[in-house]
Amino acid sequence: MANILDEIFAAKRVELDTTRREAPLTEVKNKIGDQRDVIPITDAIKVPGEGSKIIAEIKRRTPFKGDLVEQFDPLAIARTYAESGATAISILTETRFFGGSLEHVEQASRLVLSIPLLRKDFIFDEYQVYESRACGADCFLLIATSLDKNQLRDLLELGKEIGLTALVETHHERDMEKAFHAGAEFLGINNRDLTTGKTDLDISRRLLKETRGMDNLLLVCESGIDSRSQIEEFEGLGMHAFLIGESLMKAQNISDKLQEFTVHGKTQPAG
């Protein structure tokens, strides 16, 4: 029986067929030259300084919890994130289930000039990698659960060829094996089971043990983080950055919540 993750990828394949007809790959590649220079996300995370490294996510809704915010203004949220200490911004671009759009990345890339943008979507095809660069993203997501090890490696390598870093998302030990086979060095551990929506921070606690001794890895904790104490715990266990969406999107004051997570409380200009 198909689960929600399978359903999303199936819908994405149908959508991609339409997208290819409307915008051939040659046209997409031609747009790449119009984008600003790539801001390496791994470099941004490695920059020393006070405060935790937060990849703040722009996400309108989820198939598990519905709408997360009443007044959804992705550009205003991007500006707030940039001014409130985010290390990077993740933008959901899947339309049907998450209410996102590639236009949100395109618009944000013209507004936020100082920090990297992660395109978060359900990517399985080379076209989508080129598309990510053409819309102004600096990084893109690959979900190991839904890709075989050769797909994962090929898409990861294509990203490198055009200057993009891939965040390889894992959820269990099989995913970790795929990621290591593909040569991934920017690794996310997603505490949310994308087939059920259930979140369990013990996923990170368990999978971090698989990375011991691998000093080349840059590790990102994804989903389920809603307090400063959790960030401090996982930093102590070896996490380098935290991808946080729902807690920020549902906060009464996004800026205050983000600064609570980073704790430095300093701001920087959006441009």
Ordered by start, the domain boundaries in the chain are 4-262
pLDDT at position 6 is: 92
Cβ pair 176, 229 in contact under 8 A: no
Average pLDDT estimate for 87-104 = 97
What does the pLDDT read at residue 49?
Answer: 79
Q: Are strands 165-170 and 241-244 parallel, antiparallel or unpaired?
A: unpaired
pLDDT band at residue 195 under the 50/70/90 scheme = confident
Q: How far is CA 55 from the centre of its chain?
A: 8
pLDDT value at residue 265: 45
Contact present, 34 and 116 (Cβ < 8 Å): no
What pLDDT, on a 0 to 100 scale, did the predictor assign at position 50?
A: 73
Question: Quick check: 133 and 35 in contact, CB under 8 A?
Answer: yes
Mean pLDDT calculated for residue range 139-145? 97
Most confident of 37-51, 59-73, 230-244: 230-244
Catalytic (active site) residue 12: no
Range name among 14-23, 45-54, 75-84, 132-141 with the lowest pLDDT average:
45-54
Counting runs of H as helices and runs of E as strands, what totals does the chain give?
A: 12, 10
Sign of CA dihedral 188, 124, 111, 67: negative
The closest of 128, 123, 88 to 108, measured between CA atoms, is 88
pLDDT at 207 over 80: yes
Range 102-114 average pLDDT: 95
* 120 classed as catalytic: yes
The pLDDT of residue 266 is above 70: no
Which entry of 12, 53, 120, 257 is annotated as an active-site residue?
120
Cα angle, residue 27 at apex, residues 26 and 33 outer, rounded to 5°? 95
DSSP category for residue 38: P
Provide CATH code, domain 4-262.
Answer: 3.20.20.70
Q: Catalytic pick from 94, 106, 131, 169?
A: 169
Q: What is the DSSP letter of 170?
A: E
Identity of residue 171: H
Active site residue 223: yes
pLDDT given for residue 268 in this prediction: 40
Lowest mean pLDDT among 60-69, 141-150, 227-236: 60-69
96-127 b/e (C-beta count within 10 Å ≥ 16 → b): ebbbbbbebbbbbbeebeebbbbbbbbbbeeb
- What is the average pLDDT across 218-231? 97
- Is 46 a catalytic site residue? no
247 is catalytic: no
For the chain, give the number of residues.
271
The residue from 204, 222, 247, 257 that is catalytic is 222
Catalytic-residue membership of 227: no
For residue 142, what is the enclosing H or E element?
strand 139-143
> What is the pLDDT averaged over residues 198-212?
96
Q: Residue 234 has what pLDDT? A: 98
Whether the pLDDT of residue 2 is over 90: the answer is no
Confidence of residue 70 (pLDDT cuts 50, 70, 90): confident
First to last CA, the chain: 47
Of 52, 57, 178, 247, the active-site residue reads: 57
What is the C-alpha separation between 166 and 144, in angstroms, rounded?
A: 11
Percent of the chain residues past pLDDT 70, beyond the cut: 96
- Which position has the token pair 């209410």? 99
Q: Tell me what pLDDT residue 264 has.
A: 58
Provide the mean pLDDT of the chain. 94
Residue 267 predicted with pLDDT over 60? no
From the candidates 12, 223, 246, 247, which is the catalytic residue? Answer: 223
Kindly name the residue from 52, 90, 146, 190 that is annotated as catalytic: 190
Residue 271: pLDDT over 50: no
Residue type, 104: H
* 173 a catalytic residue: no
* Mean pLDDT confidence for 51-56: 97
